[in-house]
Amino acid sequence: MRIVSGKYKGRRIHPPAGLPVRPTTDFAKEGLFNVLTNRIDWEETRVLDLFTGTGSMAFEFLSRGAVAVTAVDANFRCVEFIRRTAAELGAANLQAVRSNCFVFIRQMAVGYDLIFADPPYDMDELATLPDLIFASALLNPDGMFILEHSATGRFENHPRFVMHRHYGSVNFSFFT
């Protein structure tokens, strides 16, 4: 796994074997950040990365210049790996939190400018995530929520849906 662009560009991250994750492909990350580059002022952006897994996207957001990133995952080994990697990179503005993402969404009231979620594609509650995010106090009024999902996920009829992009088998739905 590598960081595609930004201050940590080209850095390889080696997660331990056996983590229950499906990292976002480099091709999909490049496509996503091509879309975001024209819409986001990274130096003023606070990011929440839900279902972070290896932290691949969290590190990409940091590398692009996000002012702060909170990475949330329920798996202890994933969170410890992210903390270790952040320390190696000297990334003090990354906070790794071990929590069930649904509990985190309901309990936290900190405002983020960008929320990214990459839940398991077969998760039963996947379709409820946009509504949960917008019902919480997590997203700032002009913020954006991005949901990574499989091709079977359809969100075009959601009232806050803005656009959909797909890169190979990876799909992103954008909400504001």
Phi, psi of 96 (to 5 degrees): -100, 125
Can you give the pLDDT at residue 62?
95
Tokens representing residue 3 in the block: 């960081």
What is the crossing angle of helices 56-64 and 76-89, to 10°? 30
Cα–Cα distance for residue pair 160/28, rounded to 1 Å: 23
Domain 26-175 has CATH 3.40.50.150: yes
What does the pLDDT look like over 51-60, one tens digit per residue?
999 999 999 9
Can you give the pLDDT at residue 12?
86
Instruction: Write out residues in the chain with pLDDT < 50, as ranges.
Output: none
The DSSP-derived string for 17-39 is: TT-S--PPPHHHHHHHHHHHHTT
**Residue 159 C-beta-side C-alpha neighbours within 13 Å:** 3
Can you give the pLDDT at residue 74?
96
Question: What is the residue extent of each domain of the chain?
Answer: 26-175
Name which of 27, 5, 24, 16 is nearest 116 in CA terms.
24
